[in-house]
Amino acid sequence: MELIKIISIVISLLAAAVFTLTIWNGIKKSNLDIALRTSYKKLLLISIGFWVVTIYILTLTETFAYNLEDAFPKFLIGLFVPVVGVLLLFKSSDFRTILNAMSFKDLALGQTWRVLGSIFFLVAIWGIGPKAFMASGYGDAATGIIAILTLVSLLRSSKWSKPGLWLLTVVGTTDLLMVLFILLSHYPIWFDSIPNTAMAGSFPMMLIIGIAAPIALLLHIFTLRKLVLKKSIQTDALKS
């Protein structure tokens, strides 16, 4: 169990770090005014820091933990509030400019930590969670490996870069949806057997659900957005 705690903490902090780096580089490469870029960099560090600290505090105080009287899984709040908050920023032309300036290299790099999601193998094998989490372990491992291979292909300007990005997006998003399905379908509000997913809202699992999972989803959304945009409004080519 100690190993799972350590890996969960590492995943949450590493995911936050690469997410910050991805947006930071997007701000840096954008054509926004220098003063604006400086302001947004400071705002980025404050926002990510606040998000991470808040999730840690709420997790350690058992705010999202399962209780018998719960009407719904509270961990969903920690999972979706950050995602919705960032998606609302799409209304800002400055934020869209920053998104356009993000490189595919950074977006692929931002998913490489997913190999650590193999932690779900331990959750399933040790009986901490349902055996269904074995599928999550395979999904995260596959996503992380694809991210690494895609990053290498981008660094080499390979013709496989674009297919790799599409594969990364499809496999990674499917994996996230599968994890969410397992969490909900085995949640003790409506699932009577043991092991279940009551631990989802508690330390350390909530660190992954409240920090790493939203970041993974957002990076997939950012990548998909760049892939479907017309070339005329992209600010970098696949080889950038």
Average pLDDT value over all residues in the chain: 93
Could you tell me which of 37, 57, 76, 72 has the C-alpha nearest to residue 214?
76
Could you tell me which of 232, 215, 11 has the C-alpha nearest to residue 100?
232
Average pLDDT over residues 160-172: 95
Residue 45 to residue 166: CA distance in whole angstroms: 29
The pLDDT-based confidence of 229 (bands split at 50, 70, 90) is: confident
Helix (H) or strand (E) holding 146: helix 133-155
Question: Where in the chain are the domains?
Answer: 2-233
Q: How far apart are the first and last CA of the chain?
A: 42
Could you tell me which of 2, 223, 208, 228 has the C-alpha nearest to residue 114?
208
Q: Is the pLDDT of residue 232 over 70?
A: no
**pTM of this prediction?**
0.93
Longest Cα–Cα distance of the chain, Å, equals 57
The pLDDT-based confidence of 1 (bands split at 50, 70, 90) is: confident
Q: Is the pLDDT of residue 82 over 80?
A: yes
With beta carbons less than 8 A apart as the criterion, state whether 174 and 139 touch: yes
pLDDT tens for residues 15-56?
999 999 999 999 999 999 999 999 999 999 999 999 999 999
Could you tell me which of 48, 27, 22, 24 has the C-alpha nearest to residue 37?
27
- For residues 226, 171, 85, 236, the Cα torsion angle rounded to the nearest 10 degrees is -20
With beta carbons less than 8 A apart as the criterion, state whether 234 and 37 touch: no
Average pLDDT over residues 135-142: 95
